[in-house]
Amino acid sequence: MIEKVNPSHPDKVADRIAGALVDLAYSKNDNCKIAVEVLIGHGNCHIIAETSENFTENEVQKIVNRIAGPLKLDLNVVKQDIHLAANQTNQIRCGDNGIFKGVPLTKEQKELSKIAREIYSKYPFDGKYILDNDKLIICQSNAKTDDLKTIYPDAVINPLGEWTGGTDVDSGATNRKLGSDMADSITGGGLHGKDLSKADVSINIYAFKKAQETGEVVKISCAIGDEFVDNLPYSSIVSEAKEYIKSIGGFEKFAEWGLF
C-alpha cells in the first residue's frame, strides 16, 4: 500500500519553495548552511529561513510567485545558530543527530510512482494517488472523471466528485508528505529545505540509494559532529548526495517527487 502526491499538491508546493530557497543559497555560496520551513495556503505564504546567506524579500517573493502564484509573503530570515555553524568549521561533520533507514522499493511502489507521473503529465494540477494491491484510487483536481475512467477503467476516481484543489482549498507545509517521498524508508528527518551538511538530507539519500543497490534494508544512526557514518567519512556521504541532487537538477526538482 502506497500513496503518492504530485508536485502541485499544497505540501509539495511548500517543499518546492523550500527547495528553491536552498538552490538560491547554494548559488550564493557552495558551502552554505540553511534550514527552511514553509507554510502555505489561502493566499498566504509564511517562511522561516535559518541561513548563512542573505536573502532579500524580493528574491524570495519571486520564487513564491513562480511556484505558487502571487501570495502574500510573511518572511523571517535569521542567521544560523553560532554553535551549529561552528560544527562545520574546517571540516564536514554530521549536522544532526538521527536514525535513518533505507528500504528497497516494492513493485507496487514503483508502479504507483509511474502512474502518478503519467497522470500529472496530462493534468498538472493538485492530485494524490493510492495503490493498495490491485485497488487504485485517483484524486485528481481539474480533470474530468470520465476522461480518467477511459485510461484507468478499474480505478476509484474522485469519489467526492470533480474538484479544483490547490492552496485555496488546502494548506501545505514542508516535509509533511515523507511517505510519498520515501515510501518505507521514511524516518524522523525531513528531506526538504536543508543544505547537504544536514543528515536529514544526505544520509537519507545515501541510505535510500544503498538499499536500492543492495536489495537490503539499511539502518544507520548518527550524532551531530560525527566524522564517520556507516564506516565512511561523512564528507563522502555528503559528496554522494550532492552528485545525486545535481543529477536531478537541484533541490527544487528534488522536492517535486522525492526519492522515487
Give the model's pLDDT for residue 17.
98
Distance between CA 237 and CA 201 in Å, rounded? 10
> Which grid cell sits at 63?
520564487
Average model confidence (pLDDT) across the chain: 95
Residue 6: band (very low, low, confident or very high) from pLDDT cuts 50, 70, 90: very high
φ/ψ of 179, rounded to 5, equals -60, -40
Other C-beta atoms closer than 10 Å to the C-beta of 79 total 12
Return the axis-axis angle of helices 199-214 and 234-248, rounded to nearest 10°. 80
Full DSSP string of 90-127: TS----S-EEEEE-PPPHHHHHHHHHHHHHHHH--SSE
232-249, pLDDT tens digit by residue? 999 999 999 999 999 999
Residue 188 has pLDDT above 80, yes or no: no
Confirm if 17 and 64 have CB atoms less than 8 A apart.
yes
Full DSSP string of 16-50: HHHHHHHHHHHHH-TT--EEEEEEEETTEEEEEEE
Give the model's pLDDT for residue 83.
74
Distances (CA, A) of 117 to 55, 221, 226: 33, 33, 38
Give the model's pLDDT for residue 147.
96
C-alpha of 44 from chain center: 20
> Which grid cell sits at 199?
543528515
Residue 95: band (very low, low, confident or very high) from pLDDT cuts 50, 70, 90: confident
Query: What pTM, to 2 d.p., does this model score?
Result: 0.96
142-166, pLDDT tens digit by residue? 999 999 999 999 999 999 999 999 9
Q: In what order do the strands lie in the sheet with 172-173?
A: 72-78, 44-51, 34-41, 172-173
